[in-house]
Amino acid sequence: MSSKQSASKSARKGASKGASQGASPAPVAPPLRPARLTAAAALVALEGLALAGSGLYLLIMGLLGKPDSPQQAEMGGLTVLALAALPLLAARGLWLLRRWSRGPAMITQIMALPVAWTLYNGGAGALIAGAVALALTAVATLVLLVNPTATEALGVGPRES
C-alpha cells in the first residue's frame, strides 16, 4: 500500500472516530404542514366522523329500535361504518403528509356532492341545511386539496418528462 493510500485511510478512520465521538449529525426536522392542508385534514376527518356516527346510529336502531327490516338497517349501518374508514384514513394520511392520501380525500369530496344534491332535492328544513353544509364542506375541501401549497407539501406536482 502506498503512503498516499495509507494516509487517506487513516484520515478516514480519524474522521469517523471524531464523528462518532464528537458532534452528532443535526436532527432532521419534519416537513411543515401548511395550514391549508391541516384544514383539509380536519374537514375530511369531520366527514369521516359524521359517517361513523350515522353508521352507529343505523346499527343501534337496527338492533334496538323497531325498523321495518332489522336486517336491512343493520347491514346499512355496517356499510356506512365501512365507508367511514375511507375519509378517516385519508384524513390521517393528510395529517402525516402522505402523498397517497390526496386521492381518497378528493374522491370522498366528489362523492359527497351528489349526496348533498339528493338531500337538497328530497327534503325540507334540516335536510336542506345539512345538504348545504355538506356541499360547502366538500367544495371547500376540494379547493384546499388542489391548492399549490398543499400539493407541494404532499409531493404531488407536474411530472417531469
pLDDT value at residue 18: 46
Residue 57: burial class (beta carbons within 10 Å; 0-12, 13-18, 19+): middle
pLDDT value at residue 124: 84
Reported as a single tens digit per residue, the pLDDT across 138-150 is: 999 999 999 999 9
CB atoms < 10 A from the CB of 133, how many?
13
All three cell numbers of 20:
462518532
Rounded distance, CA 52 to CA 27, Å? 39
Q: Which residue has the higher pLDDT, 41 or 8?
A: 41
Q: Is the pLDDT of residue 16 over 60?
A: no
Q: Is the pLDDT of residue 45 over 90?
A: yes
pLDDT value at residue 81: 95
CA dihedral 41, 77, 139, 42 (to 10 degrees): -20
- Nearest residue to 115 (alpha-carbon basis) of 51, 69, 57: 51
pLDDT value at residue 19: 47
Alpha helices in the chain (DSSP H): 3-21, 35-64, 70-95, 102-122, 126-146, 148-154
Share of the chain above pLDDT 90, in %: 62
